[in-house]
Chains A and B, each alone.
Chain A
């Protein structure tokens, strides 16, 4: 199984700051990518899906760089409630008909007042 790498952090930022995380992947055939948010002792919740060059949803922007094989997540105007672990997932099931995701270990974000 191909790997997905993330900086574990923690990233400590003040409220209102802009923060970006990167996630590198090794499977060049992957076509779909996902960012999940996971709160402590809870299940991951889907934050964003990336199928082409990028995606934007409010304060959150995800970008895909196929040449360098990484995706990024940018959070603008950080809120205290953004504090969580952000998991990157890469679809390893291309060509199989399955959505089999390979997850990174996550990046922890701590937003302080």
Chain B
């Protein structure tokens, strides 16, 4: 089955700890994205990457970091510098080109206390 996987589904951390969220895709898509969604809010773009070893900041990149060492993988690290890390994190991928439809993974729900 082709698709996007995110793990874990639920994640609990103490304040002050860094945490890394996994995102893997086998759709052979070049572009990958990270969004966060807060209750009653739209999706906000954190980081995106079109090719391996290259990525761009989105609208709310502060307190987050990413890497793109492989085409299939785009992990997101939520650092202790992120002031409000509790949210629903969604990874997406698309073909290259500005008309590409984005497809989402099942998401990781992060709770930081």
Contact = CB atoms under 8 A, between A and B. Distances in A.
A61 interface: no
Contacts of A95: 98
Interface residues of B, number: 31
Contacts, number: 70
A53 B43 CA distance: 25
Kindly state the interface size class of chain A when it binds its partner.
20 to 34
Q: Say what secondary structure dominates the interface of chain A.
A: loop
A8 B40 CA distance: 9
A93 interface: yes
Q: Say what secondary structure dominates the interface of chain B.
A: loop
A95 B99 CA distance: 10
Contacts of B96: 97
Interface of A: 1, 4, 8, 31-32, 34, 41-46, 49, 51, 87, 89, 91, 93-101, 103-106
Interface of B: 31, 33, 35, 40-45, 48, 50, 56, 58-59, 88, 90, 94-107, 109
Given A8-B40, A100-B58, 16 more contacts: A4-B42, A31-B98, A34-B102, A43-B90, A43-B104, A43-B107, A46-B102, A87-B42, A99-B31, A99-B97, A99-B100, A99-B101, A101-B102, A103-B44, A104-B42, A105-B41
